[in-house]
Amino acid sequence: MPIAKKTKTFYITTPIYYVNAAPHIGHAYTTVAADILARWKKLEREEYFFLTGTDEHGLKIQKKAEEAGKNPQQFVDEISDGFKILWKKLNIDYSNFIRTSDLFHKKAVQSALRVLWDRKAIYKGSYEGLYCVGCEQFKMETDLVNGKCPDHNTAPEHLKEECYLLKMAEMQGALVKKIETDEFCIAPNKYKIEILSFLKKQKLKDISISRKNVSWGIPLPFDTVHTTYVWVDAFLNYLTGIGWEGNPDKISSQWPPEVQLIGKDILRVHATIWPVILMHLGIDLPKKLFTHGHILAGGKKMSKTLGNTIAVDEMIKKFGADATRYLLMSAGTFGEDVDLTMERAAGKYEANLANGLGNLVARSLAMAEKIKTESGKWKVESGTQKSKMEIDIENYWKKYEEAINNYKLNEAMNEIWKFISACDEYIEENKPWKLEGNEKEEAIYNLLESLRHIAWMLRPFMPETSDKIFSQLFADEKERAVELSKVLNEAQKWGGMKIGAKIKKGENLFPRL
C-alpha cells in the first residue's frame, strides 16, 4: 500500500473495471486519458496520484467464474493480471492498482459499513425490483427499452429479497445544492444538466446495499449472512486506494480527488449513490466527475454479436503502443461519443504519424546530420535570433495548455499537429537544402528547436515517441538528462537546443503499415 503523502496532490481516478472478461477498448480509453492527465501534472511538476484497478466481486463475476469452472479468486486473479499486462503495454504509469479482493480493501469496507450502520444511515428491510446483472443495478421501468436494459440488451431479473438499505432521500437536497454550485462539479455541462433534471424529477429511493444470495462479496460486518452490494464495495476503492482504513476521521491529505473520470453509462450511480455514501460518512465529495462518451464502431455500439469490436491488443500489435494512445484519444472530443474503425485508424496512422510526425523528424535530422562535424556534433553557430517559429510556438503552447487543462485532450493534440504542419510548410517555403552558410544553419536550427518543443508537447500523450525524439536531439546522455530535468516553463522557452549538441538520427518513428 503506497504511503499517503502530506502535501495536496492532484488525485485522479479511473473507474475500477469488472473482471468478468478481458479488458476492452473502452477500458483502455479511460485509462489512457487518465494517464495523459497524470503525466501532464508530472510535467507541471505537481504532485499527483493516479489510481486505477479492478472491481472483482458480485453476481456477474461469480457466474462467470462458475461457467469457467474456476474458484472465483483464481478467476479474478487471472483477469486482473490481464489488465496489469495491458496497462504495461500501453505505458500506463499508475500510482496504485487497487483490487477489491485485496484484504486491506475488504477490511476497510467493513469498517466503513460499521460506521454507516452505527450512524443509522443503513437499516434492515426488503427490496423488490428489476435487476440487471450486466449493470449490477436495479432498473426502473423507464430505464428499459422494450423491457430490456439498453446497455446489455437483456431483460432484467425480478428480484425480491430481505436486505439492508441506505438512506438516500435525506441527502438529496444537499446533493442538488452541491451539484448546482459546482462544489461537486459534473462535467461536461450537459451531464450536469442531465443529473440535475433527474434529481429534481423524483425523490431518490433508498437503495439496497446488500445481497443475500451472492456469496462472492464482502460480508456485512453486522450480518454476515449478507454480502455487500458490489457498487458500494467498488465506490470505496477510491478511498481505500489511497490507504484509507475505513475511519472517516482519518483520511489522507490526498483526498478529495481533483477529478474522477467515468463513462456516461456509470454517471448516474456516481452522481447519486457515491456522493450520498460520502455525505453519510461526513467525507468531502470529489471535486469533479468528468464524464466521457463511448467509443462506437462505424456509428454503432461495439458488440461481439455485431462483430465490430476492436481489440486493443490488435491495435497495439499493428500500430504500437504510442500510436494506439494517439489513435484512441484523437478519435473525437473527450466527453462526446467518438467513432473508431480499424480502416480509419490505419489511414490516420499513415497520414499523421508515418507521414506527419515521423517524416518531419526524419527529414529534419537528415538535414542536420549533413552539417555534422566529425565528432558527431552539430555544426551550427547561428540560429538563435527571433524567427517566425519562435513567435508561433508561444501561441501553440498557450492553446495546448488551455485545452489540456480543460480536458480537451483531442484539441491539445490538434495543436501539436498544427505545429507539425507549420514546420512542414516552413521546410517547403525555405528549402533548407538549397540554402548556404548561416541561412542554412538557421533554418535547421529552427527545425530542430521546433522538434524539441514537439517532443515536450508529446510527452503526456506519447511518452515513448517523446523519448525517442529527445534521444535524437540530445544524443549525449548527460545533455539529455539536463534537458529532461527542465521545469516546464523553462522547456517552453525558445532556444533550448544547444548549438554544438550531439545529434543522432534514429530509426523511423512510425514504420509504414
Retrieve residue 49's grid coordinates.
496520484
- Closest CB 263 distance from ligand MSP, rounded Å: 2
* Given 115, 302, 403, 475, the residue binding ligand MSP (CB under 6 A): 302
Query: Considering beta carbons, is residue 340 or 404 the nearer one to ligand MSP?
Result: 340
Residue 295 touching ligand MSP (CB under 6 A): yes
Print the binding letters for residues 367-396 with ligand MSP: x by CB under 6 A, - otherwise. ------------------------------
- Closest CB 17 distance from ligand MSP, rounded Å: 4
H/E stretch holding 273 reads: helix 273-281
- Closest CB 29 distance from ligand MSP, rounded Å: 5
Residue 26 touching ligand MSP (CB under 6 A): yes
Which residues make beta-bridge pairs with 300? 297
In the bound state, the residue with its beta carbon closest to ligand MSP is 263
Residue 17 touching ligand MSP (CB under 6 A): yes
Answer for the pair 232, 273: CB distance below 8 angstroms, yes or no. Answer: yes
Residue 266 touching ligand MSP (CB under 6 A): yes
- Closest CB 266 distance from ligand MSP, rounded Å: 5
Q: Which of 149, 163, 192, 440 is catalytic?
A: 149
Cα(265)–Cα(85) distance, integer angstroms = 25
Q: Mapped to the 3 state alphabet, what secondary structure does 117-152 carry?
A: HHCCCEEEEEEEEEEECCCCEEECHHHCECCEECCC
Looking at residues 245 to 264 of the shown chain, list those that interact with ligand MSP (rule: CB under 6 A): 262-263
Query: Considering beta carbons, is residue 63 or 294 the nearer one to ligand MSP?
Result: 294
**Collapsing DSSP states into helix, strand and coil, what is residue 464?**
helix
* Given 265, 336, 369, 401, the residue binding ligand MSP (CB under 6 A): 265
Query: Considering beta carbons, is residue 237 or 387 the nearer one to ligand MSP?
Result: 237
- Closest CB 334 distance from ligand MSP, rounded Å: 11
Answer for the pair 149, 140: CB distance below 8 angstroms, yes or no. Answer: no
Q: Classify residue 385 as exposed, middle or buried by CB count within 10 Å of its CB (0-12, 13-18, 19+).
A: exposed
Cα(278)–Cα(227) distance, integer angstroms = 20
DSSP for 177-245, written as a single string: HHHHTTTTEEESHHHHHHHHHHHHHSPPPPEE-EESS--SSPEETTEEEEEE-HHHHHHTHHHHTTT--
Answer for the pair 90, 28: CB distance below 8 angstroms, yes or no. Answer: yes
Within 8 A by CB and 6+ apart from 65, the residues are 71, 72, 74, 75, 76, 216
Cα(248)–Cα(251) distance, integer angstroms = 6
Residue 29 touching ligand MSP (CB under 6 A): yes
Look up 190 and say whether it is catalytic: no
Query: Considering beta carbons, is residue 24 or 372 the nearer one to ligand MSP?
Result: 24
* Given 55, 56, 258, 415, the residue binding ligand MSP (CB under 6 A): 55
Cα(341)–Cα(298) distance, integer angstroms = 6
Look up 132 and say whether it is catalytic: yes
* Given 10, 12, 27, 316, the residue binding ligand MSP (CB under 6 A): 27
Total residues at interface with ligand MSP (CB under 6 A): 18
Cα angle 344, 346, 349; round to 5: 110
Query: Considering beta carbons, is residue 29 or 397 the nearer one to ligand MSP?
Result: 29
- For ligand MSP, the binding residues (CB under 6 A) are 15-18, 26-27, 29-30, 55, 234-235, 262-263, 265-266, 294-295, 302
Instruction: State the catalytic residues.
Output: 24, 27, 132, 135, 149, 152, 301, 304
